[in-house]
């Protein structure tokens, strides 16, 4: 511990144990030389933690004097579910006649970090049996779904579709979901996961394919309630994009079919229902957004008709479109009446926040 040898340390006075094995210690010292960044709100504390956890840093220092203790004493494993254990040293010190507080977070990461290190180094000797299964599965997926000559966009799409089509979203209440569902083991081996099981797995798969991909932590609006959530940031071409693979698993009754509402979207687009704890790389590009790349933007009813006609002509199971200055929920289905006489078998769904229409044939 970097400050363990500082003078005049006083024995820890309290222990708090959370479900995630977060342990707090309070210690008095006389000075601080960590250079810990100062935060003055819980949101800023979460942003500092998010930046460090994205880098898999095992020691994180934050000056939390500017916020109340009840705001600083957060359950890290609840906010950042890739953290397996968090030991938190709570230091008080005095400088220039004022008292300050900072926290030293000692982080142990869950399996995705161990598997990720093995994928980077090729060394698997230290992997636990379940981690080795995940490692081997990722190697198998890359060999089967990432082909020579694919563009980076095609690699991402292939891995996105594999994950959506081979994983079922674990819809158990948050406090009842199996631990495996929070891990790549749940997503890739058992075939069931919650958000961070998807985001961990997508990061591992993308990195194994040679693509830059990180996990984004934050909150998302689900049924009108803001809840903790995890998704991904990817780099395709020269731009950064956001992808939420868990929320693209939108067709549980249509095996082999993925949605693309959140495939390579911008910060502005995803802000309709996602709020990250930190924004260290701006996602403003749209060239490789699924709807832009595949010419599925509807600016008006004529565009919507043409998208439907093209989808029917190629025998699509689902026809997708996103409105661009046009509310796709208001389209009429004349094109379907013209080209698909048995339209009583047609259903559709709309994601109003992303202005996306999916027509299921």
Same domain, 259 and 334: no
Q: Helix or strand or coil: residue 93?
A: strand
Whole-angstrom Cα distance, residue 3 to residue 63? Answer: 14
Whole-angstrom Cα distance, residue 350 to residue 356? Answer: 6
- Output the CA angle 41-195-202, nearest 5 degrees: 110
Determine phi and psi for 243, rounding to 5 degrees.
-140, 135
Contacts of 139 (CB under 8 A, 6+ apart): 208
| Residue 343 CA, distance from chain mean position | 37
How much is the pLDDT for 239? Answer: 97
Q: Look at residue 151 and tell me if it is in a domain.
A: yes
Same domain, 78 and 155: no
Q: Look at residue 272 and tell me if it is in a domain.
A: yes
Same domain, 133 and 217: yes
Same domain, 190 and 211: yes
Q: Look at residue 207 and tell me if it is in a domain.
A: yes
Q: Are 358 and 307 in contact (CB under 8 A)?
A: no
Q: Helix or strand or coil: residue 175?
A: coil
Same domain, 95 and 117: no
Q: Look at residue 40 and tell me if it is in a domain.
A: yes
How much is the pLDDT for 176? Answer: 59
pLDDT tens, per residue, the chain with 361 residues: 332 332 222 222 222 223 344 444 444 444 555 578 888 888 899 999 988 887 888 889 898 888 887 888 888 887 887 787 888 887 777 766 667 778 888 888 878 888 998 999 999 998 999 999 999 999 999 999 999 999 999 999 999 999 999 999 887 765 556 778 889 999 999 999 999 899 999 999 999 999 999 999 999 998 889 999 999 999 999 999 999 999 999 998 888 999 999 999 999 999 999 999 987 789 999 999 999 999 999 999 999 999 999 998 898 999 999 999 999 998 887 777 666 555 556 788 899 999 999 998 8
Q: Look at residue 5 and tell me if it is in a domain.
A: no
How much is the pLDDT for 16? Answer: 27
Same domain, 41 and 152: no
Q: Look at residue 12 and tell me if it is in a domain.
A: no
Q: Are 199 and 246 in contact (CB under 8 A)?
A: yes
Q: Helix or strand or coil: residue 279?
A: coil
Burial 10-40 (b: 16+ CB within 10 A, else e): eeeeeeeebebebbbbbbebeebebebbebe
Q: Are 119 and 100 in contact (CB under 8 A)?
A: no
Same domain, 285 and 140: yes
Same domain, 157 and 262: yes
How much is the pLDDT for 6? Answer: 26
Q: Helix or strand or coil: residue 158?
A: helix
| Residue 121 CA, distance from chain mean position | 24
Same domain, 136 and 103: no
CATH code where residue 36 lies: 3.30.110
Same domain, 224 and 241: yes
Whole-angstrom Cα distance, residue 107 to residue 101? Answer: 19
Total tally of structural domains belonging to the chain = 3
How much is the pLDDT for 21? Answer: 45
CATH code where residue 185 lies: 3.10.620
Residues of the domain holding 184: 111-290
Q: Look at residue 15 and tell me if it is in a domain.
A: no
Give the domain-ending residue among 268, 290, 312: 290
Same domain, 231 and 84: no
Same domain, 165 and 145: yes
Residue with the two structure tokens 């689902």? 318
Burial 47-81 (b: 16+ CB within 10 A, else e): bbbbbbbbeeeeebbbbbbebeeeebebebbebbb
How much is the pLDDT for 175? Answer: 54
**Residue 102: enclosing H or E segment and its boundaries?**
strand 98-109
């Amino acid at each position: 511990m970097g400050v363990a040898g500082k003078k005049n340390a006083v024995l820890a006075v309290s222990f708090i144990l959370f479900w995630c094995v977060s342990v707090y210690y309070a210690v008095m010292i006389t000075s601080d030389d960590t250079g810990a960044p100062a935060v003055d709100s819980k949101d800023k504390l979460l942003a500092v933690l998010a930046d460090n956890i994205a880098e898999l840093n095992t020691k994180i220092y934050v000056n939390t004097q500017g916020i109340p203790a009840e705001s600083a004493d957060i359950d890290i494993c609840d906010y950042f579910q890739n953290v397996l254990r968090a030991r938190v040293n709570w230091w008080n010190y005095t400088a220039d006649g004022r008292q300050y507080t900072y926290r030293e977070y000692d982080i142990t990461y869950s399996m995705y970090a161990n598997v990720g290190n093995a994928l980077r180094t090729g060394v698997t000797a230290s992997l636990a049996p379940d981690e080795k299964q995940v490692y081997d599965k990722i190697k198998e997926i890359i060999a089967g779904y990432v082909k020579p000559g694919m563009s980076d966009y095609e690699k991402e799409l292939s891995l996105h579709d594999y994950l959506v089509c081979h994983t079922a979203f674990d819809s158990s209440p948050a406090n009842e979901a199996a631990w495996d569902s929070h891990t790549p083991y749940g997503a890739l081996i058992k075939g069931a996961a919650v958000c961070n099981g998807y985001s961990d797995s997508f990061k591992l798969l993308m990195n194994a394919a040679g693509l830059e991909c990180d996990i984004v932590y934050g909150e998302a609006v689900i049924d009108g309630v803001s809840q903790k959530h995890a998704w991904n940031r990817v780099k395709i071409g020269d731009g950064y994009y956001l992808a939420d693979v868990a929320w693209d698993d939108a067709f549980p009754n249509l095996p082999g079919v993925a949605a693309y509402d959140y495939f390579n979207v911008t910060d502005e687009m995803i802000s309709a229902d996602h709020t990250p704890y930190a924004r260290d790389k701006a996602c403003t590009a749209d060239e490789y957004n699924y709807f832009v790349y595949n010419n599925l933007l509807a600016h008006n009813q004529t565009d919507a008709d043409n998208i439907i006609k093209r989808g029917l002509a190629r025998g699509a199971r689902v026809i997708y479109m996103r409105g661009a200055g046009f509310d796709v929920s208001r389209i009429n289905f004349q094109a379907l009446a013209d080209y698909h006489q048995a339209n009583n078998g047609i259903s559709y769904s709309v994601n109003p926040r992303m202005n996306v229409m999916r027509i299921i044939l």
